[in-house]
Amino acid sequence: MKIFVTVKQVPDTSGKVAVKADGTLDRASMQTITNPDDLNAVEAALTLKDEYGYKVVAFCMGPPPAEPMLRELIAMGVDEAVLISGREFGGSDTYATSQIIAAAIDHYGIEEDDIILAGRQAIDGDTAQVGPQIAEKLGLPQITYAGDIKKEGNTLTVKRILEDGYMMIKVQTPCMITCIKELNTPRYMTVSGVLGAWEKPLTIYDYPTLQDHPLIDKSTIGLKGSPTNIYKSFTPPQKGVGTMLKGDGKDTTNELASILAAKHII
């Protein structure tokens, strides 16, 4: 019984965002963090582990400096971390990324009771495509925007949170679920977890490990195999300061109404 959690290391965009001359993120000069939604996915996995005894395995595709992030997840309670890393994988877009992660999870071995948890969205790429694409490539059912997950046998009941309400969905395992921040509050690392985190082996999946998997084909991974091309990137101009209306409620309401009427908005 396993839970696979996909975890991406992302630049910390809450601080100063460094952009290179070509408009791409200068990742090397920025601090990195664990993608926030992925910590909610890890917490959901650990909560299910506490209750039902799952083995939790984190999968990250990224360069070797992602290792300390994976060690932090082990210190939180993750049982094993797999780093998918290799030059052949570099420059992958979401299509190629999900293909490689799907192959890696399948290579590890998916069984009837297993669950794949991903964050809803990465704060750098922001597409929210990778989790659903992993499910598609593995032929698994998927539920996105999970705000609650309950287990009964090999059926999960998931509360799917939408802008204007929610849906309750039952799904059979194996399945893939994307997690949002409303799901839980991620736990801290424990002291014993931190002390033991570097003792545990880190599993590395490089290109030779995965090259014979049917999903892995040099023409569909890496920069050359990625169908998405960045045509242009730019920093949007800052919005103006806006207009402040001062006075009591009646005056400002009338003034606002006449401004909107002048612009033909009302």
Q: Is 61 in the site for ligand FAD (CB under 6 A)?
A: yes
| Candidate list 86, 131, 174, 193; residue touching ligand FAD; CB under 6 A | 131
Q: Which two tokens stand for residue 76?
A: 């939180």
Q: Is 60 in the site for ligand FAD (CB under 6 A)?
A: yes
**CA neighbours within 13 Å on the CB side: how many for 104?**
30
| Candidate list 40, 74, 124, 193; residue touching ligand FAD; CB under 6 A | 124
| Residue located via tokens 């019984």 | 1
C-beta separation of 34 from 179 below 8 A = no
Q: Is 182 in the site for ligand FAD (CB under 6 A)?
A: no
3-state SS class at 47: helix
φ, ψ dihedrals at 171, nearest 5°: -140, 145
| Candidate list 2, 37, 49, 80; residue touching ligand FAD; CB under 6 A | 37
Residue with Cβ nearer ligand FAD (54 or 205):
205
| Candidate list 26, 50, 126, 251; residue touching ligand FAD; CB under 6 A | 126
Q: Quickly count: other Cβ atoms within 10 Å of residue 29's Cβ.
A: 10
Single out the segment in contact with ligand FAD by CB under 6 A; choices: 13-21, 43-51, 125-133, 141-149. Answer: 125-133
Q: Minimum Å distance from CB 51 to ligand FAD?
A: 22
Q: Is 15 in the site for ligand FAD (CB under 6 A)?
A: no
Q: Minimum Å distance from CB 66 to ligand FAD?
A: 8
Count Cβ atoms within 10 A of the Cβ of residue 98 and give its class: 0-12 exposed, 13-18 middle, 19 or more buried: buried
Q: Is 128 in the site for ligand FAD (CB under 6 A)?
A: yes
Task: Name the pairing type of β-strands 55-61 and 142-152.
Answer: unpaired
Q: Is 180 in the site for ligand FAD (CB under 6 A)?
A: no
φ, ψ dihedrals at 97, nearest 5°: -60, -50
Task: Name the pairing type of β-strands 155-162 and 32-34.
Answer: unpaired
Count Cβ atoms within 10 A of the Cβ of residue 246 and give its class: 0-12 exposed, 13-18 middle, 19 or more buried: exposed
- Which single residue brings its beta carbon nearest to ligand FAD? 125
Task: Give residues in contact with ligand FAD (CB under 6 A).
Answer: 6-8, 35, 37-38, 59-62, 90-94, 97, 101, 118-119, 121-122, 124-131, 223, 226, 228-230
